[in-house]
Structure 1
C-alpha cells in the first residue's frame, strides 16, 4: 500500500501511519512511502468554504495517478469536506483502491489546545486505519470503540481505539476470502 504525500506532511506522520497500518491489519497491509509527491489539485478548492472537496481529490487520483501499490492512501494538510458535511477527516472508496486523510483537524492546535505530538500521531493512525478499512470493504461500525466507527467530531476519534473490533475482523476475513486475498 502506497502512502502518497499531497502538500505538507511531516515524516513522523508517515512513519506512525506505516507502523499503525501494519499493526492494525496484522501484516496484511505493507505500507511504503511513495517516491512521488503531489500538490493538492486546485480544482478541488472551494473558496466559499476555504476547504478542499475530498471527492474531487479522489476522482483526480483515480484519473491521474498510476499507483505502485494495491491501495493508495493520500495524506494532506488541507482541510477537507464533502458536500453534505461541514468537514471530513478523510474519505475512501468502499471498497476500492484510493483513500485520503487530512491532518488539519487532527492537530490539537486546531481546537485551540497546545500541541501534543503523541495525540496528533495517534489521531493520524486512527484515521488512516479507518479509511483503509473502507478500501477493504468495511463499512462504519456501531461499536464506538472500533476504529471503523464514524467520527462526527474529534472527540469521537479520541474515544475509539486504533483497532478493529471482532465483528469487523470477521467481516474483513470474509471480504478477503471472497476477493482471493491472503488472510492476516
Structure 2
C-alpha cells in the first residue's frame, strides 16, 4: 500500500492539514500521515520576484524527508521559471510535490447569509484539496487534461480552479496508476 507524507513547510493551520489528510485517505487507497514541519524556506526566496522557488523547495523536501510519496504544503507565494506564479508543482520521478495555499485565499466572497452551507472556509478547503489532488495526479502518472471540469485541468487562475471538480474525469481515472477508493 502506498503512503503519502504531508509535509508542512513553515507554519500551516492544523485544520487544513487534517482536512487534507482525511480527504486524501477518502479518495485514494493509501495511508496519509502528517509529518513534522520543515522550516520556512528562506533559502528559496527570490528578492527580485518577492516569491519562493518551488523547484528549490522540492529539492529540499527530497533531501530532508524519507517516504514513498511526499506532498509539501506552504503558505508562501511560489513560482517556477517562465510563470508568474504556481499553485503547485510536482516531480513525478522523485514522487514529490509542493502546493501553496497563499493564492488560494484570494477572491473569497463574503458570506452573505450565515444560514447557507457556503463559507469562505469551505471554498478555501475545496481549492486546497483540488491543488493537492492535482499534484498527486502528476505523481501518479497523469498529465494536464483538456476537460475543464477534471481536477487535472491546468488552472491559470482561481476562477479556473473554482470551475473544476476535485475529482478525476473518466479518462484520467483510466490512466491513473493508483486505485481510487470505491466511493470516488
What is residue 80 of structure 1 aligned with on the other side? 78
Give me the whole-angstrom Cα distance separating, in 2, the residues matched to 1:168 and 1:74. 23
Change (3 A) 1:124 1:97: same
Shift in Å at residue 141 of structure 1? 0.7
Give me the whole-angstrom Cα distance separating, in 2, the residues matched to 1:78 and 1:38. 13
What stretches of structure 1 of length at least 5 have no aligned partner?
A: 177-181
Q: Which of 10, 15, 18 is matched with 1:15 structurally?
A: 18
Give me the whole-angstrom Cα distance separating, in 1, the residues matched to 2:132 and 2:108. 23
What is residue 100 of structure 1 aligned with on the other side? 98
What is residue 29 of structure 1 aligned with on the other side? 30
User: Does 1:165 pair with 2:157?
Assistant: no
Show CA shifts across 1:130-154 (max 9, x none): 1111111111111110111101101
Give me the whole-angstrom Cα distance separating, in 2, the residues matched to 1:112 and 1:126. 16
Of Structure 1 and Structure 2, the greater helix share is in 1
Show CA shifts across 1:59-113 (max 9, x none): 1222x2132x310111110000001100000000134411000110001xx3475
What is residue 57 of structure 1 aligned with on the other side? 57
Give me the whole-angstrom Cα distance separating, in 1, the residues matched to 2:51 and 2:159. 21
Q: Secondary structure at the match of 2:154?
A: coil
Size of the aligned set, in residue pairs, is 170
> TM-score, structure 1 length as denominator?
0.85
What stretches of structure 2 of length at least 5 have no aligned partner?
A: 111-118
Q: Secondary structure at the match of 1:38?
A: coil
> TM-score, structure 2 length as denominator?
0.85
